[in-house]
């Protein structure tokens, strides 16, 4: 009945088309959380911001008699007054927050099915971060039991399998693997809200990767609770497709103004640094006084950022967007550096060619493209006399010398044969004139790799200019090549 089709890819991120009973949804996308108890922005209005799908809490509806009866009678779409696809949450968050809910897994699933939810969610058990392993394991087993039950209850609707396991990466992996064995239409990574609230984004990266590696690649993945736009580039780059945002309303309630790279307290706003319909029609004083206006602005910027992420996937510049956004907070930068530890994994999914490579910071030195380049150095089988020079202008060596092969050192890629000087990626990289040490280190490591691969086959001369002097790897190169410093 459903299908998820992947249209474009960049890093592990993708633009996809999710088919639901209420039409197609293009991912990545954010589902605004509609709370029927306190709707300030109507579900129908969400379309104008760019919403293609909504999420609402079936448990909150179930608990209130009038809402429950209304939902059963009219269906969830009529209750919310909107024909967009609707995902329903089960009350797990309430279970986590208040330790108890007045409904069983089977009851809430049957209810979701009955009210016509497009994507139903079992009542999984979130485990708080840094809980004892035994607790996380027990919660996980119960979650899996409930997911098995869900699979037998839900017949004609899409069903989400939820990955739990707290901060134990092996448990996250196991949870994802066993959920995949049961088989779901959407996979959701849950239990993240406390980590998000405490800005533990590096841990978030680990959890997403541990989960993703054990989930089917062609299935949509929902990152539960991550509604702040500053997280979208990173999370999408790691393969998350669906997001939910209660943040737009919660932040507004807390008088906080969301931007693509952080949050500002409204009381500190002197101007409105945004051009959304709210910020261009109201004064800063009006926005300060109205939670509804603030919620509306928060939604505009949330969807704007997701469109930016999508455009970046389409043009192959998602890494660059991540680098730009992650400069906003040290914790985000930390998370991006953490992602570079997974470059070998990301490299497997990243398209082999894309637009020119822009070197923006030392994180660029560890991009998947650079790692892929390093793998390919094994393919160069060299003989005769070889010159490797840091001088890109092909000067600095005697005209009398004859070289069979000439390589330029292109940071951060390293040795690039002159014949491939225009080819992607090394030949089509844009690097600043002032090269940082990280780019030099990676480049020289790759020079060493080329030398090692061809030891005994070719005779190497390594020629470097003053800006590379003093780098410890130049001394290392001396073991394999005649090293000359350009005067
Ligand atoms: Zn605005």
pLDDT tens for the 487 residues of the chain, in order: 448 999 999 999 999 999 999 999 999 999 999 987 765 688 889 999 999 999 999 999 999 999 999 999 999 999 999 999 999 999 887 877 777 778 899 999 999 999 999 999 999 999 999 899 999 999 999 999 999 999 999 988 999 999 999 999 999 999 999 999 999 999 999 999 999 999 999 999 999 999 999 999 999 999 999 999 999 999 999 999 999 999 999 999 999 999 988 999 999 999 999 999 999 999 999 999 999 999 999 999 999 999 999 999 999 999 999 999 999 999 999 999 999 999 999 999 998 888 889 999 999 999 999 999 999 999 999 999 999 999 876 554 555 578 999 999 999 999 999 988 888 888 889 999 899 999 999 999 999 999 999 999 999 999 999 899 889 999 999 999 999 998 7
| 272 Cα–ligand 1 center, Å | 7
Separation in Å, CA 155 to CA 110, 150, 338, 443:
10, 9, 40, 55
* Residue listed under structure tokens 């923006």: 360
Distance 230 CA to ligand 1 centre (A): 15
Rounded distance from Cα 256 to ligand 1 centre (Å): 12
Q: Which two tokens stand for residue 185?
A: 């239409």
Spacing, Cα 257 to ligand 1 middle (Å): 8
How many whole angstroms separate alpha carbon 154 and alpha carbon 149? 9
Please give the angle made by the CA atoms of 68, 69 and 70, to the nearest 5 degrees. 90
Q: Let me know: does 389 contact 383? Beta carbons within 8 Å.
A: no
**Spacing, Cα 299 to ligand 1 middle (Å):** 9
> What's the 301 CA to ligand 1 centre distance in angstroms?
6
**Which positions are annotated as active-site residues?**
89
Structure tokens at 389: 């020079």
Q: Tell how far the Cα of 22 is from the centroid of ligand 1, in angstroms.
A: 30
Model pLDDT for residues 69-89, shown as the tens digit of each residue: 999 999 999 999 999 999 999
Residue where the block lists tokens 């290392």? 476
Helix (H) or strand (E) holding 7: strand 3-10
């Amino acid at each position: 009945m459903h299908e998820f089709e992947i249209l474009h890819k960049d890093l592990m991120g993708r633009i996809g088309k999710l088919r639901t009973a209420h039409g197609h949804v293009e991912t990545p996308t954010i589902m605004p959380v509609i709370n029927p108890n306190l709707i300030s922005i109507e579900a129908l209005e969400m379309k104008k911001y760019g919403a293609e799908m909504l999420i609402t809490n079936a448990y909150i509806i179930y608990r209130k008699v009038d809402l429950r009866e209304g939902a059963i009678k009219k269906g969830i779409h009529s209750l919310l007054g909107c024909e967009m696809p609707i995902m329903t949450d089960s009350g797990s968050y309430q279970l986590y927050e208040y330790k108890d809910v007045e409904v069983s897994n089977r009851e809430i699933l049957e209810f979701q099915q009955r009210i016509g939810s497009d994507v139903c969610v079992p009542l999984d058990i979130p485990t708080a971060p840094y809980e004892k392993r035994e607790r996380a394991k027990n919660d996980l087993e119960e979650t899996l039991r409930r997911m098995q039950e869900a699979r037998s209850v839900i017949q004609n609707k899409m069903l989400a399998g939820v990955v739990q396991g707290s901060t134990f990466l092996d448990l996250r992996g196991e949870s994802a693997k066993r959920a995949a064995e049961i088989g779901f239409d959407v996979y959701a990574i849950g239990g993240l809200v406390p980590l998000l609230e405490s800005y533990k984004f590096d841990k978030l990266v680990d959890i997403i990767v541990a989960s993703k590696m054990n989930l089917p690649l062609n299935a949509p993945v929902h990152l539960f609770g991550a509604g702040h736009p500053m997280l979208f580039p990173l999370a999408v780059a790691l393969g998350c497709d669906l997001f939910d945002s209660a943040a737009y309303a919660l932040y507004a309630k807390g008088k906080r103004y969301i931007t693509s790279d952080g949050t500002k307290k409204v009381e500190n706003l002197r101007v409105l640094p945004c051009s959304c319909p709210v910020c261009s029609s109201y004064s800063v004083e009006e926005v300060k006084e109205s939670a509804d206006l603030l919620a509306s602005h928060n939604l505009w910027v949330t969807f704007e950022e997701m469109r930016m992420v999508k455009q970046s996937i389409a043009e192959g510049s998602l890494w660059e967007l991540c680098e730009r956004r992650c400069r906003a907070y040290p914790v985000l930068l930390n998370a991006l550096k953490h992602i570079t530890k997974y470059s070998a994994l990301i490299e497997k999914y990243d398209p082999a060619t894309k637009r020119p490579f822009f070197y923006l910071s030392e994180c660029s030195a560890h991009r998947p493209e650079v790692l892929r380049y390093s793998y390919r150095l094994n393919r160069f089988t060299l003989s005769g006399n070889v010159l490797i020079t840091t001088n890109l202008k092909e000067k600095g060596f005697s005209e009398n010398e004859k070289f069979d092969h000439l390589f330029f050192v292109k940071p951060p890629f390293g040795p690039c044969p002159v014949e491939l000087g225009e080819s992607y990626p090394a030949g089509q990289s844009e690097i600043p004139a002032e090269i940082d040490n990280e780019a030099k280190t990676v480049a020289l490591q790759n020079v060493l790799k080329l030398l090692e691969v061809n030891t005994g086959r070719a005779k190497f001369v390594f020629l470097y200019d003053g800006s590379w002097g003093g780098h410890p790897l130049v001394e290392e190169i001396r073991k394999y090549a005649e090293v000359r410093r350009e005067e």
